[in-house]
Amino acid sequence: MTLTFIESFNGISDELHLYPKWINNGGLIFLSVAGRFGESNGAVRMLTNTYHLLAPSGNIGTTDKCIVGFAYKPDIGMDETRVMAFWDGGVEMLKVVMNTDGTLDAVVDTTVVSSTTEKMKGGVWRYIEIKVLFHASAGTVDWQIDGVSDGGDTGKDTIYLG
């Protein structure tokens, strides 16, 4: 396994320190929240209802296992859709979207390849971690919510080829 990207947000105190690793998709606010192990980690939340997290910059590759962990606080009413996405060479490979019931889906193009059972609640911070093995037929998706396993799926097409 190659660890391509993981972000604890430790030591990031403002927006300027984010840009070396993160791409800005809109207006930001910077918050401090408890991370996976209870430390005070920074977190970034977008001001609009479209993109609530920044996307990792750079290419992930199509054979890598990627792990991304982040703090997330949905708006009250939970009308958001895309939470974050994995990109490779300008192509959105897999995105994480939140459903109206608060569950999260891992989606390739329009196909749901994995879902959480735990539900996000409006106005409540949660720590989300997703691990994806990118493969055309033997891909895997594993979830953790607040450091606790929330299931996963194997034998999936986790690569969007356009």
User: Domain 15-156 is of which CATH architecture?
Assistant: Sandwich (2.60)
pLDDT tens digits along 113-151: 999 999 988 878 888 888 888 888 999 999 999 889 999
Nearest-angstrom CA–CA distance, 103 and 130: 13
Residues in the chain: 162
Q: What is the pTM of this model?
A: 0.68
Beta-bridge mates of residue 51: none
pLDDT tens digits along 36-74: 444 444 444 444 433 334 444 445 554 577 777 777 777
Contact 66, 4 (CB under 8 A): yes
Which three-class secondary structure state does DSSP give residue 77? coil
Contacts of 66 (CB under 8 A, 6+ apart): 4, 5, 60, 86, 131, 132, 134
Contacts of 56 (CB under 8 A, 6+ apart): 5, 7, 21, 22, 23, 68, 86, 87
Contact 48, 27 (CB under 8 A): yes
Tokens of 160: 């969007």
pLDDT tens digits along 74-120: 776 665 567 887 777 667 788 888 888 889 999 999 999 999 999 98
Tokens of 76: 């009250």
Contact 156, 139 (CB under 8 A): yes
Which three-class secondary structure state does DSSP give residue 17? helix
Nearest-angstrom CA–CA distance, 116 and 101: 11
Residues 20, 5, 58: CA angle, nearest 5 degrees: 50
